[in-house]
Amino acid sequence: MSHVLHHRARYQLHLSAVKTARRGARDLAQDWGLDNPYDLLLTVSELVGNAVQHAGTPDRGQVTVAYTLSARRLRVEVRDPSDEAPVQHEDPADPEREHGRGLAIVDALTRRWGVEPQVIGKIVWVEFCITDLRTSPPPPRAGHLSGPPDRRG
């Protein structure tokens, strides 16, 4: 692939945006030939969910998800109107904590991620190595639900 593909979608700051954005990411991954999109879908869900939870109410604006696919990487940018930077908690496995595991998940699933402040709001971006999204998962075993491949090695 010598060219770069771009896609952008906007959603109201509402809980339904998480499901809609995840569905959009799934459809885009299929269109772009990314046949192992599990990490992408979970990451988009987490980032859009964070935007909805922390950026305010639908009357405060929208969340925008932008995708850029090149030969070696997929970059996803989630922009929301909140100036508050996301916080990765020191101990996301703390059983007493009700929230705060999302960025640990994002950190584990992506090659790298970061935050870019904007004049209004911020962009939380992530990057995936394209080969991680193009490896077909193993076929489901009889009697088991299909799902993401086992990453325990």
> For the segment 91-149, what is each residue's pLDDT rounded down to a tens digit?
555 566 555 668 888 999 999 999 999 999 999 999 999 888 876 544 454 444 444 44
Q: Is 106 within a domain?
A: yes
The total number of structural domains that make up the chain: 1
- Integer Cα distance of 50 and 146 in angstroms: 27
Q: Which helix (DSSP H) or strand (DSSP E) does residue 15 occupy?
A: none
pLDDT at 102: 81
pLDDT band at 3 (very low <50, low <70, confident <90, very high): confident
CATH of the domain at 36: 3.30.565.10
Q: Is 49 within a domain?
A: yes
- Integer Cα distance of 45 and 19 in angstroms: 7
pLDDT by residue (tens digit) across 13-69?
988 999 999 999 999 999 999 989 999 999 999 999 999 988 866 666 899 999 999
Q: Which domain holds residue 50?
A: 5-133
Q: Is 61 within a domain?
A: yes
E-assigned strand segments in 13-121: 62-69, 73-80, 112-117
Instruction: State how beta strands 112-117 and 122-129 pair.
Output: antiparallel
Radius of gyration of the chain from its Cα atoms, rounded to whole angstroms: 16
Q: Is 122 within a domain?
A: yes
pLDDT at 146: 44
Q: Which helix (DSSP H) or strand (DSSP E) does residue 45 occupy?
A: helix 38-54
**Per-residue pLDDT at 151 exceeds 80:** no
Q: Is 44 within a domain?
A: yes
pTM of the predicted protein model:
0.80
